[in-house]
Amino acid sequence: MTERTFVMVKPDGVSRRLIGECIRRFEQRGLKLVGMKMLTLSRQQAERHYAEHEGQPYYEGLIAFIVSGPSVQMVWEGEDAIAQVRKMNGATNSLNAEVGTIRGDFALSGRRNIVHASDSPETAAREIALYFKDEELLHYAMPDEDWLR
Name every residue whose Cβ is closer than 8 Å to that of residue 33 and which is 6 or more positions away in sequence: 23, 26, 27, 74, 75, 76, 77
- 49, 53, 116, 139: the catalytic one is 116
Give the model confidence (pLDDT) of 56-70 as tens digits: 999 999 999 999 999
Average pLDDT over residues 69-87: 98
How does DSSP classify residue 8? E
Higher pLDDT, 146 or 34: 34
CA distance 78 to 17: 25
Average pLDDT over residues 91-119: 93
The DSSP result for 78-146, as a single string, is EETHHHHHHHHH--SSGGGSPBTBHHHHH--SSS--SEEE-SSHHHHHHHHHHH--GGGS-----TTGG
The pLDDT mean for the chain works out to 95
How much is the pTM?
A: 0.94
CA distance 118 to 17: 22
Amino acid at 128: I
Checking if the pLDDT of 79 tops 90, the result is yes
| Nearest one of 37, 60, 65, 47 to 132, comparing CA atoms | 37
Checking if the pLDDT of 111 tops 90, the result is no
| Pick among 3.30.70.141, 3.40.50.2300, 3.10.310.30, 3.30.70.1140: CATH of 2-148 | 3.30.70.141
Note if 53 is an active site residue: no
Give the model confidence (pLDDT) of 131-140 as tens digits: 999 999 999 9
Residue pair 73/6 in contact by the 8 Å Cβ criterion: yes
- Report the pLDDT value the prediction gives residue 121, as an integer from 0 to 100: 98
Q: At what angle do helices 81-89 and 19-29 cross, to 10 degrees?
A: 130
